[in-house]
Amino acid sequence: MNTLLVLAMVVPTAQAITDIPYREMEGVDAKFHSLDIYVPEGEGPFPVMVTIHGGGWRKGDKRGSNMREKVALYHANGFVLVSINYRLSPAVKHPAHVEDVAAALAWIHDHISDYRGNPDALFVTGHSAGAHLATLVAVDEKRLGAYEKPLSIIRGVISSDHAAFDMLARLEAIPRTETAFRSILGNPGPVWADFSPITHLDTDKGIPPFLLFWTTRPAAPESNNLFLNALEELGLAGEGVEVETTHAGMNQFLSKPDNPYSDRLFAFLDTILHPTTP
């Protein structure tokens, strides 16, 4: 029998499995609690990247911006890509968004091996509001803890241009922030602190390494550097890159091959997956 024909018969092909429910909630449209899984060709098990869409916590969808390019990029680098939906404001406020993200991650951790993914090589990324949620679920242990999952199930986080690391500091610097975020957080107070990833940093939680990308748009450099400095002070792993592009352009850069930013992203992942010994 022809060797190529044998390989075609035994090597699994790429797959897209869409609209998988990860939780059920009465009165909530099922689309908000669904995810899509994109599996590359090959036997696996493959490392897994979970991507969380942006849209200001108010809009967006798991099949939104640049998804075709992202699938091609992650498949070319040997990753399963999972894209998730979550409930949106103003129908819900914090912590509903991050609770959904945690539910999705718990489901993925339990089931991704059925899709040739490796649950021990699970990463999270997002753009804008999605980056905030990727960050928050990786530092606030009570969200995954609701599913008896430790933060250590997340091996690393890639954040793309969000500026909500410390909302109380942002409110002090930019008073109009209160109006912009009221539909997501309500009035300033403890909920704003709980929404802020910097509030949850500590040394003994198993917080994963971070790679932060940001643009020079208002509040982004200050917020990202504040978070990086807080990680460094606690001895936690984090690195950052400022990119000369627009907020939307950042999402495009990180969806395409052969540029220094996607190269940096996959180098970061590789150091976690294949650490060198001194």
Closest C-alpha among 132, 141, 152, 123 to residue 51: 123
Tell me the C-alpha distance between 39 and 68, whole Å: 13
Compute, in degrees rounded to 10, the torsion defined by CA atoms 160, 19, 70, 109: 70
Q: Provide the total of helices (H) and of strands (E) in the chain, helices listed first.
A: 11, 8
pLDDT of 5 higher than 70: no
DSSP, residue by residue, 86-133: ---TTTS-TTHHHHHHHHHHHHHHHHGGGGTEEEEEEEEEEETHHHHH
For residues 213 and 250, is the Cβ–Cβ distance under 8 A?
A: yes
The mean predicted confidence, pLDDT, of the chain is 92
What percentage of the chain has pLDDT greater than the value 90?
80
Mean pLDDT of 251-262: 89
Tell me the C-alpha distance between 78 and 258, whole Å: 16
In terms of Cβ atoms closer than 10 Å to its own Cβ (0-12, 13-18, 19+), residue 112 is buried
Mean pLDDT of 221-231: 96
**Per-residue pLDDT, 11:** 60
What percentage of the chain has pLDDT greater than the value 70?
95
pLDDT band at 3 (very low <50, low <70, confident <90, very high): very low
Tell me the C-alpha distance between 66 and 2, whole Å: 38
**Per-residue pLDDT, 1:** 36
Determine, yes or no, domain membership for 249: yes
Which domain does 72 fall in, by range? 3-272
Supply the pTM of this predicted model: 0.94
Number of structural domains in the chain: 1
Would you state the structure tokens that stand for residue 246, as one six-digit string?
A: 């627009």
Which amino acid, residue 240? G
**Per-residue pLDDT, 253:** 87
Determine, yes or no, domain membership for 21: yes
Tell me the C-alpha distance between 22 and 43, whole Å: 24
Determine, yes or no, domain membership for 277: no
Mean pLDDT of 209-216: 97
**Per-residue pLDDT, 94:** 97
> For 167-200, how does the pLDDT look when each residue is reduced to its tens digit (9 = 90+)?
988 888 777 888 889 899 988 889 999 999 999 9
Mean pLDDT of 197-219: 95
Determine, yes or no, domain membership for 203: yes
Determine, yes or no, domain membership for 257: yes
Tell me the C-alpha distance between 167 and 29, whole Å: 29
pLDDT band at 7 (very low <50, low <70, confident <90, very high): very low
C-alpha distances out from residue 236 to 191, 208, 270, Å? 25, 8, 18
Determine, yes or no, domain membership for 278: no
**Per-residue pLDDT, 170:** 84
Determine, yes or no, domain membership for 100: yes
In terms of Cβ atoms closer than 10 Å to its own Cβ (0-12, 13-18, 19+), residue 87 is middle
> For 133-176, how does the pLDDT look when each residue is reduced to its tens digit (9 = 90+)?
999 999 999 999 999 999 999 999 999 999 999 998 888 877 78
SS3 state of residue 276: coil
Determine, yes or no, domain membership for 127: yes
Closest C-alpha among 230, 234, 228, 232 to residue 203: 234
In terms of residues, how long is the chain?
A: 278
In terms of Cβ atoms closer than 10 Å to its own Cβ (0-12, 13-18, 19+), residue 262 is middle
pLDDT of 276 higher than 90: no
> CATH no. for residue 87?
3.40.50.1820
